A and B are shown apart, each in its own frame.
Chain A
Amino acid sequence: MDLKDLYRDVILDHNKRPRNFGTLPPPAHEARGHNPLCGDQLTVYVELDGDVIRDLRFEGKGCAISVASASLMSEAVKGRSRADANALYEQVHDLLTRQDAPSPPSLGKLAALQGVREFPARVKCASLCWHTLNAALEGGVAPVSTE
C-alpha cells in the first residue's frame, strides 16, 4: 500500500479545487448525506430535465476522499440520464470494494478512486456522495447516513 496510490494527483487537485461546488435553488432536488464516523457532511443539488441530470452542485465539509469523490462525480454525471448515472455508480462501487474489479474506460477520471479499496476505512468517504445523489434523485427528504 502506498499513500500516493490513495492520494493521487487527481484526488488532491479535486480536493483543493472542487468542481461544481455550490448550491442550486429549488426546484432542484436536494439531499443531505452524513458520515458520522468522520463528520463528513454533504449536500447534493440536482436539476433534472426530464430524465437527464442537467446540472449538479454539491457543498459541505469532508475529507479529501469525500470531497474529491463528490467533485469527480459531479463532472461525470452532468448531462447523463438517471439510468446512466446509476450504471456509473455500480462501476464506481465495484471499483471501491472489489479487489479484482476492472477499471473500464467509461469510468474516465473516476478511475482515480481505485486506490481507495486498499483502505477499507475510507470506502464510505468515497461512496457518500453517490448515496446522497441517489437520495436527491429519488427526491428523498430524510438525510442519508453511512452508518
Chain B
Amino acid sequence: MAVAPRLAPPLDLERLRADFPILQQRVHGKPLVYLDNGASAQRPRAVLDAERRYGEQFHANVHRGVHWLSQQATDLFEGARERVRRFLNARSTKEIVFTRGTTESINLVAQSWGGVNLRPGDEIVISWLEHHANIVPWQLACERTGARLRVVPIDRRGELDLDAYRASLGERTRLVAMSHVSNALGTVMPVREIVAAARARGVPVLLDGAQAVPHLRVDVQALDCDFYAFSGHKLYGPTGIGVLYGREALLEAMPPWQGGGDMIRTVSFEGSTWNDLPYKFEAGTPNMTGAIGLAAAMDYVDGIGLERIGAWEHELLEYATAKLQAVPGLTIVGQARDKASLVSFVMDGVHPHDLGTILDQDGIAIRTGHHCAMPVMTFFDVPATARASFAFYNTRAEIDRLVAALHGAREMFG
C-alpha cells in the first residue's frame, strides 16, 4: 500500500500559536523558542480570559453565601470539578480533590492515607526515576510511621525493570507510588503492568501524572489506579491548582489532613464531624480562579484533541532526537522505547548550565539542572542535564534553532 506523503503537520500551528500571547515575544532580541514546557507550559488566551472573567464578573467565596455572586462562583467552581472528572473519566466528582498541585496531592496521600495505613516494617514501592515530589513525601511518612521505601531500579535506557518491580512486591507492600511519565527522562512507564501486578496483591497504586496529562489521554477507570496526581500549570492551565483523583472508597476511609472551614460538617469543642467527599480534603477557601482556569485549559486541550497533540509531539520528538543525535559530542540521557516529547542530554566539554546560558542568549528556553530527580542524575553519573521539552505549539523550525545554537556552543567551547 502506498503511503501518501504528509504535506502539512496535523495541526494548524500558526493558528494555535496565535492563541498564546507569550509565544509572540522576543527574548534578547530573538523570537522566543519555548522548550521548557515540562517545567511549566504556557497558557492560551482562553485560559487567561477565563481567569480574568471570573475576577471581573463572578468572584465571591464559594459554598458559603446565599447571595447571587457566591452562587455563581460556586457553580463555576463545581463546574470545574465536573470538567476535571470528565477529563479523567472518574466515576464521580467526589473523587476529584482540588489541591495546589502534584506535590500537594502526593503529600495529602502520604500524610492522610499513610498516617493510618503504614506500620513499622511496611513498604512503599517507588521507582528510581521519580521526581522529588514522589520521593520526599514518602520519606517523611516513613519517618513518622517506621515504614520503609523500596526503590525499583531502571535500566540504561531509562526504563523500569519490570521483573524487579514484580519481585519487590511482597507481604509488607502497602502502596506503589510511581510516575506515569518521567520528567527527567521522558520515559512513559508501563502503568498497565504496574497496576495489574499491584492489584493482584491488593496493593493500591498512586500515579504521579504531572508529565502525562499534557501528552496522553488519561482514563483513571481504564488505568484502574487508586490515586492520580497532576498540576494545572503543566497542562496549559494556571499555577497553584492541581488535582488529586482518589478512588472513592479509599478517600472515604482516609482522615482529613488539614482542618478548617469547608471541610467540616459540625464543629463543637467536644469534637467535629467531617464534610462529605471531596470537601473533607479541601480545608479553607480554595483556588477558584485556578480551578476555573484549569477547566478552560481542559476545554482548550480537548478542543484540539489529545490524540492529535500526542501525534504531533511524537513527530517533534523523533525529529529532535534525530537532529540532536547528529550533534557531535551530544548524548541523549533517557532512550526509553516509549517516550513523551522531551529530550534530556549532555554534551562533552560543555556543562548543561553553560548550554542553558548560551541558548538563552538566542532566545531559547530550556531547563538545565537535576530536574528535581537527583537519583536519576546519580544513576546516569551526570551532575545535571539539559532538557528540551516540547508542547504541541512547538515547530520543527524551533528545533532547528535549538540544534544550531548547540553547534554554536560546541564551537565556542571547542
Contact = CB atoms under 8 A, between A and B. Distances in A.
A38 interface: yes
Interface string B365-384: 00011100000010000011
A39 interface: yes
B383 A39 contact: yes
B389 to A, nearest CB: 18
Interface in B393-414: 412-413
A7 B412 contact: yes
A63 B353 CA distance: 6
Interface residues of B, number: 18
A1 B369 contact: no
Interface SS of chain A: mixed
Interface in A1-31: 1, 3, 6-7, 12, 15-16
Interface stretch (A80-88, A118-126, A131-139): A118-126
B354 A65 contact: yes
B412 A37 contact: no
A35 to B, nearest CB: 9
Nearest to A38: B353
Interface in A98-143: 119, 121-122, 125
Contacts of A61: 351, 383
B368 A38 contact: yes
Given A38-B384, A64-B351, A122 B357 contact: yes
A37 B384 CA distance: 9
B361 interface: yes
B383 A40 contact: yes
A43 interface: no
B352 interface: yes
* Contact-size category for A: 20 to 34
A36 B383 CA distance: 10
Nearest to B413: A12
Interface in B19-42: 28
B31 to A, nearest CB: 17
B410 to A, nearest CB: 12
Contact of A63 (B28, B351, B370, B377): B351
A38 B386 CA distance: 10
A41 B383 contact: yes
Contacts of B384: 38-39
B413 A64 contact: yes
B361 A1 contact: yes
B358 interface: yes
B413 to A, nearest CB: 6
A39 B354 contact: no
Contact of B357 (A15, A41, A121): A121
21 contacts: A3-B357, A3-B358, A3-B412, A7-B358, A7-B412, A7-B413, A16-B349, A38-B369, A38-B384, A39-B353, A39-B384, A40-B353, A40-B383, A62-B353, A63-B353, A64-B351, A64-B413, A65-B354, A121-B357, A122-B353, A122-B357
Interface of B: 28, 349-354, 357-358, 361, 368-370, 377, 383-384, 412-413
Interface of A: 1, 3, 6-7, 12, 15-16, 36-41, 61-65, 119, 121-122, 125
